[in-house]
Structure 1
Amino acid sequence: MHGDGGDVLSVAQFLIAMQTAEKLRRNSQTLRIEHMEMSDQGMYQCVVSNSEETAQGTSEIRLGDSPPALVSAFSGALLQPGAAWSAAVRVVAAGRAAAEPLRRARGTQGRGKVHPENHRQQVFPNRTLVIKVIRKHADEGGYVCVATNPLGQTSRSKMNVLIMEAPEIDPIVIKHDLQLGMRMRLACVVSKGDFTIQIQWLKDGSPIAEDQQIAEKILDEYSSTLSFCSLAVKHNGNYTCQASNAAASRNYTVKIIVNGNNVLSQSCNQMCYLE
Structure 2
Amino acid sequence: MKILNSSFIRFITFYNVALNIVWNPGGGASNSFDTQGPSFSIEPPNRLEFTNSIGSRADCTVRGNPQPSIEWFDQHNNPASTIPKVRHILGNGSLYFPPFEAELFRQDVHLSSYRCVATNTVGTIVSRDVNVKAVVNQRYEPEVQNPGGFLGSNVIIKCNIPQFVEDYVTITSWLQEPSFNIFPSLEGDGKYQMLPTGELLIINITKLDAQRTFRCRTHHQLTQETRVSSNVGRIQLTEMQELVPPIMNTKFIKIFARLDDPLVIPCVAYANPSPSYRWFQREDGDSPLKTGRATIRHGSLVIPSVKSIDSGTYFCTATNSEGSETLEVKVSVISSLSAHIQPSRQTVDLGKSADLTCTTSGFPQNKIWWLKDGQPLRTGSRVRLFDQASVKITSITKEDKGMYQCFVKNEHDSTQGTAELRLGEVAPQLVYKFIEQTMQPGPSVSLKCSATGNPTPQITWNLDGFPLPNNDRLMIGQYVTMFGDVISHVNISAVKSEDGGEYECSAKSRAGSVTHSARLNIYGMPYVRPMLPISAVAGKSLTIKCPVAGYPIENIVWEKDNVRLPTNM
- Which interval holds the TM-score relative to the shorter structure? 0.3 to 0.5
Greater relative CO, 1 or 2 (CA 8 Å, sep 6+):
1
Q: Structure 1 length as normaliser, TM-score?
A: 0.44
Q: Structure 2 length as normaliser, TM-score?
A: 0.24
